[in-house]
Structure 1
Amino acid sequence: MKYILFIVTSVDRIGTDHIPTGYEFSEIADPYWEFTKAGFTVDFASPTGGSPPEDGYEENNTNSRLFRNGPGFKRLNFSHKLENVDIDAYDGIFFPGGLGPMVDMVDHPLVKDIVSKAYEKGKIVAAVCHGPVALLNVKLSSGQYLVEGKKLTSFTTEEEVIKKHHVNRIIPFMLEEALIRQGGIFNKKAPFISHIIKDGLIITGQNPASAKDVAQAVIEKILGQKIG
């Protein structure tokens, strides 16, 4: 049995406009089904524990609808408090997006510690859309930033502009630019098209459409074989 930990935002408002936010529903639902189909056990954790705030639920999305009405959603809403998590119990960690992580995953010391420990223990570190914000400001035992020299992707500046995610009013900064400033080798494709980047233990996806493909890439890396 393989185990994956989803680390989910606890933030429900963002920006000077204080807009409602949270995790992007499909970015949990789509990967959840991929992991469970492959026989993985999925656990959930968040900075404050309990029921994380959600955003973007669409009833006509089959995966989302099934997830909301299934046992995974119940487990998500009793998420472990991050400080109580033992990273050694997991084969990898996964950060779904939504705008919430842009607030509580940037500098959270425990998030930074868990990411660096997971990576240096040889575990998969995966993230999608705004989830790669969790990789920012992570320093390895060498003192080097985790993202320095790594190929990766995230929600792009172009996509933020299209969605009218204005800096300060909505988001605190442009994630693409921040990852590049810390030495990340940023790779992107056209807006809202699935695109993932694999660089060793780090697997990232550009946008919500990429969530399923990120999960499949993680599964393949952990199992050491092609799926599908």
Structure 2
Amino acid sequence: MKDKKVLIVITSHNTLNDGKQTGYWLGEVTHFYHILREAGYEVDFTSPKGSQPPLDQRSYDLRDKDNRQFWEDKRLHSQLNNTIPIEAVNAEDYIAIYYAGGHGAMWDFPSNERLAQLAAQIYEKGGFVCAVCHGSAGLLNIKLANGRSLLDGKTVTGFANLEEKLIRLTKAVPYLLEDELKNQGAIYKRGILPGLARLKTY
């Protein structure tokens, strides 16, 4: 059913400015996926380039129950390895769009005009636009029919400048996400992460 279907967007970008590998963060796909399925929603996966998106290997943790169940499910693994190209997605089929995180999202989410159009169409027909972590980069550059930024006046969060500094990647990314969200009129709120100092560095 169209009113029970959600689109998960996954990055196709795999390289930081310093040449190191990146991609999407596994848990930021699997955790949300399982919540949706338990609530009875159907889920499709899309990416800017379609086909198999690059996994950030730091996120490959099968001790995580959701990751393990997802990764070992052959049907899901096949679906993830064959994401729908954004150009083939119809906004009318979805009640919500969700931008999964991973540093790669900072490159190809905000620069993809078709992706921004899809999000605007879903939002303006009463649907939901949501994101996690670096996936909030997908909220940048979404313009509504009235010409205003989707972010204008909205309270949002996303990967903080402090977090980027702690994992020593401020020069490896194209911009600081917190700054860009604010630049587009968002009211930025940083979450409190008890394990912030233990974040893995590259």
TM over 0.5: yes
Structure 2 residue aligned with 1:47:
48
Structure 2 residue aligned with 1:63:
66
Question: What is the SS of the residue equivalent to 2:30?
Answer: helix
Cα pair 2:8 2:100 within 8 Å, conserved: yes
Residue number among 113, 118, 140 corresponding to 1:114 in the alignment: 118
Structure 2 residue aligned with 1:204:
none
Q: Distance in 2 between matches of 1:192 and 1:165?
A: 20
Is 1:166 aligned with 2:165? no
CA deviation vs aligned residue, 1:111-161 (integer Å, no higher than 9, x gap) = 111111111111110100011111111111111111010111101111111
Q: Distance in 2 between matches of 1:110 and 1:41?
A: 22
Question: What is the SS of the residue equivalent to 2:107?
Answer: helix
Is 1:76 aligned with 2:63? no
| Pairs within 5 Å for 1:1-228 | 1=1, 2-15=4-17, 17-55=18-56, 56-70=59-73, 71-167=75-171, 170-191=172-193
Q: Distance in 1 between matches of 2:173 and 2:111?
A: 15
Cα pair 2:6 2:43 within 8 Å, conserved: yes
Structure with the largest fraction of strand: 1
Q: Distance in 2 between matches of 1:155 and 1:192?
A: 15
> Aligned-pair distance for 1:73?
2.3
Q: Distance in 2 between matches of 1:74 and 1:162?
A: 35
Question: What is the SS of the residue equivalent to 1:4?
Answer: strand
> Aligned-pair distance for 1:178?
0.6
- Where does structure 1 lack aligned partners over 5 or more consecutive residues? 194-207, 209-228
Compared CA separation, residues 192 and 40, structure 1 to 2 (3 A): farther
- Where does structure 2 lack aligned partners over 5 or more consecutive residues? none
> Aligned-pair distance for 1:37?
1.1
Cα pair 2:157 2:191 within 8 Å, conserved: no
Give the share of equivalent positions with the same residue, in percent: 35
Q: Distance in 1 between matches of 2:128 and 2:193?
A: 26
TM-score with structure 2 length normalisation?
A: 0.90
1:21 counterpart letter in structure 2: T
Total equivalences in the alignment: 192
